[in-house]
Structure 1
């Protein structure tokens, strides 16, 4: 049987199960890539997702395909990874696409937009809807091929030095928040600030900012925000299911043998699942510890959510009028979201509501 025909019929998993991987990889030369992460090593779920991918790639190629993983700032700044991939400074990166909303609004849709898809819905849009096709078409303008690279699940609404009790408290609030969500906060009278994770604590401690959102209890606890901002609001209406991506330089991607592209896709899918599993497993204990240490967990006021929702819909419509990339992708995304919410409101949400109220 011809090698490519065999691969096409069995897939990477079948090759490995059949013990045929050595015959495939031994015919390939050794490849070495560098991956620039937007995250520090201290955040083991975010940074660890890149390490997970690199190990899987090495394991599945018998060490023939090596990817060295570099933390934020080692090779390029955290927010410099798109330029680095686009310009072939590195072969790939791991990042949150919405960091690059300033380049084009459409980057945000590939990660999270306010009141968007939850994590399961985002994965469904990417793999079974038109998400991956549409985002790859868009990223092609930047010489980038993307692979879904993890999801945190719905995030918390951030840390606040003073409790937000109504939408009036948003006026003048200096908050670390990224991309699209920053525009919403601005329309509510807030002052959005864009800061990488390793600069947030110091800014909060010194009072340079009044509040900060990062991710979820497992990460937030490590960064120590609870020591300088006691109020922990929820939910993060701007991040219902933020997807991270592996960005790969298109020239480097196209130069890979087909077998190695398949390996990279399989490794990325494994990393995608691993990230959310890690967060879901560790968030409960982290939240309990934060509360025991004095953190006040507080729901976001309804008038804040209502105002944010209205401003979000207004901005989405405005972007559709002026940005053809956004208009094309968002039209598909929003239609998918409508159908998903129709379905989730019954079985998924109904089951969750009952179980969360039940005494176990």
Structure 2
């Protein structure tokens, strides 16, 4: 090829490339959504997952897809978030699916149920066991489409104003507890209360409630729950791994381009991993701080755990007989839980138990 022809061809190619890049960028539609969170802005771990998600989506689309998060109650009261999104008033929410289990118990399976899957089990079931598709089979009937959007890991069993020494001590106790765990605790004598996170401290301080569970050391310390109840119980057997979701109006989801759908799904997965990492990294120091400040760490008595397990299984049998969606998804989770626990016992549990026994004391 002659030098002049080569230079001419190269120049034309460069010009075409320069024109093509803006043309492609212009094809990306401008999208602006609002996201109503189920949590207050002060909780940087949970509310922060929505901010992370919005940031990832914006960066991946060169700012063409903007999602603005709003704290719980700022534009939509927390209990109405899913209904508002389903109606299309707001495009999406970041919340705990089990908040809506009263509408249909199947919602609880998206977050956590007593003695259900732990965080790794939920991730495995969702991402490799078909769980996301199974849950969306249910959510789509509610005009919602959802993706996992964070996990707290196994939660604590809550703050109590009085010590619990046996099952008998639960009778008549008013406890803030969310999801299906409240139904199980009710069978143990507790009077469950549904109270948003931002209202737990004043309710516990005034004695409106006698106990409250929220998440774990890092968030609980931020809410100051240790200042109004001295006894800190574990484990939160109703939330062995509490998963949150990004719930999107189904019609809005279907309007997105395939590229934007892929970006939303990827951003949700990244937020899911990041939120768990924050809890795992921050909870140890927060637990030390709480204990140093006077919190009295206590395990639930054996009779409480045994009775709770018994009542949970009774509840699942009843719900499965009444609700086909619940039965299908619960049986899938339960089957995997049994397999996962067998494997965990062989490797993870043995390793972790050894390391815990041999950790430096201090």
Relative to the length of structure 2, the TM-score reads 0.92
1:286 CA displacement: 0.6
In structure 2, relative to structure 1, the CA distance for the partners of 1:351 and 1:25 (3 Å cut) is: farther
2:31 is matched with 31
Partner of 1:106: 106
Q: Say whether 1:268 aligns with 2:257.
A: no
Q: Contact 1:106–1:325 at 8 Å: present in 2 too? A: yes
157-166 vs 326-335, which deviates more?
326-335
- The aligned residue for residue 242 of structure 1 is 242
Give how far 1:170 is off: 0.9
1:79 positional shift: 1.4
Distance 2:74 2:313 in 1: 39
Match of 2:289 in 1: 289
Using the alignment, how far apart are the partners of 2:206 and 2:101 within structure 1? 28
Q: Deviations over 1:159-193 (max 9, x none)?
A: 00011111111111110001211111111111000
Shift in alpha-carbon separation, 1:109–1:23, aligned structure 2, 3 A: farther
Match of 1:10 in 2: none
- Map 1:84-163 to 2 at 5 A: 84-163=84-163
Aligned 8 A contact 1:22 1:61 in 2: no
Runs of at least 4 residues off by over 3 Å:
20-26
Specify whether residues 23 and 316 from structure 1 end up closer, same or farther in structure 2 by C-alpha distance, changes over 3 A only. Answer: farther
Tell me the residue number matched to 2:333: 333
Separation of aligned partners in 2, 1:100 and 1:237: 19
Q: Determine which structure has more spread, i.e. the larger CA radius of gyration.
A: 2
Corresponding position of 1:231: 231
Residue 169 of structure 1 pairs with residue 172 of structure 2: no
Q: Give the equivalent residue in structure 1 for 2:47.
A: 47
Deviations 1:52-93 (A, max 9, x none): 000000001100000000000011011111011100011110
Secondary structure of 1:44's aligned partner: coil
Aligned residue for 1:126, secondary structure, equals helix
Query: How far 1:359 moved relative to its partner?
Result: 3.3
Counterpart Cα distance in 1 of 2:23 and 2:245: 31
Aligned-partner Cα distance in 2 for 1:23–1:296: 63
Question: What residue is the counterpart of 1:190 in the other structure?
Answer: 190
Alpha-carbon distance in 2 for matches of 1:234, 1:22: 56
Conserved? CA contact 1:226–1:290, under 8 Å? yes
The equivalences for 1:10-89 within 5 A come to 25-89=25-89
Q: CA RMSD in A?
A: 1.2
Instruction: Find the residue that maps to 2:355 and give its secondary structure.
Output: helix
Q: Which runs of 5+ in 1 are unaligned?
A: 1-19
Give the distance between the partners of 1:102 and 1:233, measured in 2 at CA. 26
Kindly state the Cα deviation for residue 29 of structure 1 after the two structures are TM-superposed: 2.1
CA distance in 2, matches of 1:21, 1:41: 38
Partner SS for 2:48? helix
Secondary structure at the counterpart of residue 34 of structure 1 = strand
| Shift of residue 323, structure 1, vs aligned partner | 1.0
Once the two structures are superposed, residues 230-255 of structure 1 have per-residue CA deviations (whole angstroms, 9 ceiling, x without a partner) of 00000000000111000001100010
Partner of 1:357: 357
Say whether the 8 Å CA contact 1:97–1:110 is kept in structure 2.
yes
